[in-house]
Structure 1
Amino acid sequence: MNNKQRWMGGVVLLGGGVLLAALLLKGQEEIHQNNVKTPSQAEQVQHKNANQAEMVQLQPLTVDVQTEQRLLEEQRRAREKAVAEQEARAAEFLAMQQQAEAEAARKAAEEYAALNALRSGQQQSSDNIPPELVEDEQAKQKRLAEEKAAQQKKLEQQKATDAKKAAELKAAQERSAAEKKAADEKRLAEEKRIAEEKRLAEEQRQADAKRKAEQERKAAEAKKEAERKAAEDKRKAEEKRKAEEAAKKKTEAEKARKLLEEGDKQWMVQVALAANQANADALAAKLKAKGYKVTQSPTSKGVRIMVGPSKDRDAADATRKKITADPSLNMKSAWVIDWVPLDKRD
């Protein structure tokens, strides 16, 4: 075998390897397309489950613990069901991928065997390989390399997309968890606020009841004190009335006694003894000018000037003090006498 034959054989082997690689890449592309479709469906299921979870999360909160437990149990069952569906789909896609890879390997082996049989049957010289075939092989290799690079780029983009979706899903789960935590904290705070309001209301009610009882007690004490004071005032008024009645009776008794003892005696204040009638009239005029009732009584020694009469000695003595204290009258020697009118003397 010369060098041309060796070169031809190497070219044929290289072409078979390139063909096998192309077949493998084509199979992987089909598998990847299936996988791409499958995550999209899985993502739809996940988004659907996430939406359902969000709808469950957005339901109105309740302070009923049993309702909260039932909702949490439903969410857990929904998540378990979604995870089970995703695992079943992943297993199905893995089986399809393994089957596609086996089918691609089988086809590649068949083509490689056919190519080897063709090379061994022809046993052509390298001189029989036209230059166009060599050029076509180089263009084919270049195309395959470009396709491989595009496929690699597509895979990297798909990985980036998957990573982005996974990050979004994780962020959505974290956001849902944060919202649930915030909702739980809000519910606990609301329950705490309600309990605090109930406690304050109970304390206020007890304080109101205590204040009302204290007011009632004070009102009862005030009423009792008012009744006691009214009774005391009534007793004092009664004692005063009795004392006044007793004093009145005593006064009347004293008057009766004086009347019995003194009879028709009248008390007069003698202020002067005038030598003649002219002097007596002058003195009487001065006393009358002061508002006194003046009585004149002639005696063997002159005219007696008297003020009165008064019913008792005390009244006559008060009149005497008033006259002697008046400097305009200048009657310092006035005195009280018991005087009986002439018509009543024996």
Structure 2
Amino acid sequence: MAMNNKQRLLGSVVLLGGGVLLAAILLKGQNTTHQSAEPVTTQTTKQQNVAPQPSETQTEFDLQPLAVDVETEKRLLEEQRKAREKAVAEQEQRTAEYLAMQQQAEAAAARKAAEENAAIQARRQGQMQSSDNIPPELIQDEKAKQAAQANKDTEAKRKAEADAKAKEAEAKRKAEVDAKAKEAEAKRKADAEAKAKKEAEAKQKAEAEAKAKKEADAKRKAEAEAKAKKEAEAKRKADEDKKKQEAEKARDLLETGDKKWMVQVALAANQSNADALTAKLQAKGYKVTQSKTSKGVRIMVGPSKDREAADAMRKKITTDTSLNMKSAWVIDWVPLDQR
């Protein structure tokens, strides 16, 4: 009876030690997982915080930083996945080793208990055979006790085997659950990476289209400005040619004919004022000639056939209130190259 209690105590100690060992292994596995995952997270945060900033020489449509961020994120995600898979594999390996150790311990304990029980029964049978004064009812009672003990030992062995099978099934179920969880996590990561890649491609495409549109607008604007500048230059040149022709025509009349009497109506301080007065007189139908001097631009109307005709024109100009030119006078004008 004392030996049976000793066997039960030994089995309890083995089970308790196995439970403590399993808890220590699981706790160590969790710490290892956290330690392996923490640097990756820190590294990811650092990588995100120190993302390269575009330099001053880069254009606003430079897509190189975006490509670097996507590749870095992919690499970090792959490192995290490998670290988690490694930690899970190590934990599963430690769990399998523990189960094997526990099964070996239970088998050894059962084997030892069976051997001790067989030795006890052998000693009892030897004692019963050597004792002639033991009553038959005691022998029968001892046999019944031995049979009950044998049944109890068999039941304990069956229960231990059932427990081992249940633990093995639980470990298998847990491994399947972990495998499914890893598969789901891998699928989620793949979907996230595909989504990120699609968004990055869409962003890159939008930026490229915006850049192309901006370049097209700039090119169109430059062409319009060049065209306007060319037209303005052509118009300016045409105006200069027209003024030159008119001046040459007036000079020809003065140089080749006798009509040199002119009516000087003003002396403009600059060319812009001279052009304004010229346009004002030409609107009234007068023929105007400009002559540059050291004091400004001389504005003259004519030429006339004689002094009387020039004086009549002077009176007409000075009496025209819309012109407001009261200081006109008649001159005998000769071109500078003929003086």
Structure with bigger gyration radius: 1
TM-score range, shorter chain: 0.3 to 0.5
Structure 1-normalised TM-score? Answer: 0.47
